[in-house]
């Protein structure tokens, strides 16, 4: 079966997700339309495709222990000069995101991994583009704000075309659902985040 590249994230809901994705594209980020607007819980991780059912079960178990929490975005930040990223800040919900990402990457689970940088929840709005465009993203979104109730997260797979596609959503506090194979319909309640 080979390997697949997976990620786990909290989607930024509409209308905020599309707005930030369009803004990211407008700053000249060529990856904008291939990456749904999100807060990362597990960065791109290559795994054996045969481990997907165990990963889905693990993510369902983590979600069943989670509870909805408020998410609020406000203002911009940057990781420059360490990493060429401008982002919208998570000003409420960061502690819950930090807890979740630790559970997702837990050493006893099927997607244990170390991070390249310390975890910092954020929503990327510019990555790897020229400095002038990065500065523009930082300035133009400095007063951006959005809020919602986060009720779950999703598992994504990156295709050969570099586009990230949702495989399955996981709702907090719900029952553990047996893993489903990729490409089948998602059952259960869909989260709003």
Question: Tens digit of pLDDT for each residue in 140-163?
Answer: 999 999 999 999 999 999 999 999
Q: 53 in helix, strand or coil?
A: helix
Packing angle of the helix pair 52-65, 94-104 (nearest 10 deg) = 140
pLDDT at 188 over 70: no
Parallel/antiparallel/unpaired status of strands 152-158 and 122-127: unpaired
Query: How does the average pLDDT of the chain come out, rounded?
Result: 90
Structure tokens at 186: 């998602």
Confidence of residue 78 (pLDDT cuts 50, 70, 90): very high
Confidence of residue 193 (pLDDT cuts 50, 70, 90): very low
Calculate mean pLDDT across residues 128-142.
Answer: 97
Structure tokens at 25: 């594209």
The fraction of the chain above a pLDDT of 70, given in percent, is 89
91-105: pLDDT as tens digits: 999 999 999 999 999
Confidence of residue 179 (pLDDT cuts 50, 70, 90): very low
d(CA 178, CA 129): 41
Confidence of residue 192 (pLDDT cuts 50, 70, 90): very low
pTM: predicted TM-score of the whole model, two decimal places: 0.87
Q: 35 in helix, strand or coil?
A: coil
CB 169 within 8 A of CB 10: no
CB 166 within 8 A of CB 154: yes
Dihedral sign for Cα atoms in the order 125, 131, 133, 138: positive
d(CA 55, CA 47): 10
Q: How far apart are the first and last CA of the chain?
A: 31
pLDDT at 175 over 80: no
The fraction of the chain above a pLDDT of 90, given in percent, is 87
**Upstream peptide bond of 15 is cis (omega within 30 degrees of 0):** yes
14-49: pLDDT as tens digits: 999 999 999 999 999 999 999 999 999 999 999 999
d(CA 58, CA 109): 7
Confidence of residue 174 (pLDDT cuts 50, 70, 90): low
């Amino acid at each position: 079966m080979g390997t697949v590249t997976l990620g786990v994230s909290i989607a930024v809901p509409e209308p905020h997700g599309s707005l930030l994705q369009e803004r990211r594209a407008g700053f000249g980020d060529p990856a904008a339309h291939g990456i749904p607007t999100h807060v990362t819980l597990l960065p791109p991780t290559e795994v054996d495709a045969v481990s997907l059912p165990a990963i889905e079960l693990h993510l369902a178990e983590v979600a069943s222990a989670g509870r909805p929490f408020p998410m609020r975005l406000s203002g911009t930040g940057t990781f420059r000069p360490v990493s060429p990223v401008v982002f919208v800040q998570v000003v409420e919900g960061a502690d819950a995101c930090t807890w979740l990402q630790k559970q997702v990457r837990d050493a006893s689970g099927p997607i244990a991994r170390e991070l390249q940088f310390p975890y910092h929840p954020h929503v990327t709005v510019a990555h790897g583009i020229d400095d002038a465009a990065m500065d523009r993203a930082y300035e133009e979104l400095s007063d951006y704000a959005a809020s919602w109730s986060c009720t779950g997260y999703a598992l994504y797979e990156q295709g050969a075309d570099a586009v990230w596609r949702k495989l399955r959503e996981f709702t907090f506090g719900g029952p553990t659902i047996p893993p489903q194979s990729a490409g089948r319909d998602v059952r259960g309640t869909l989260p709003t985040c």
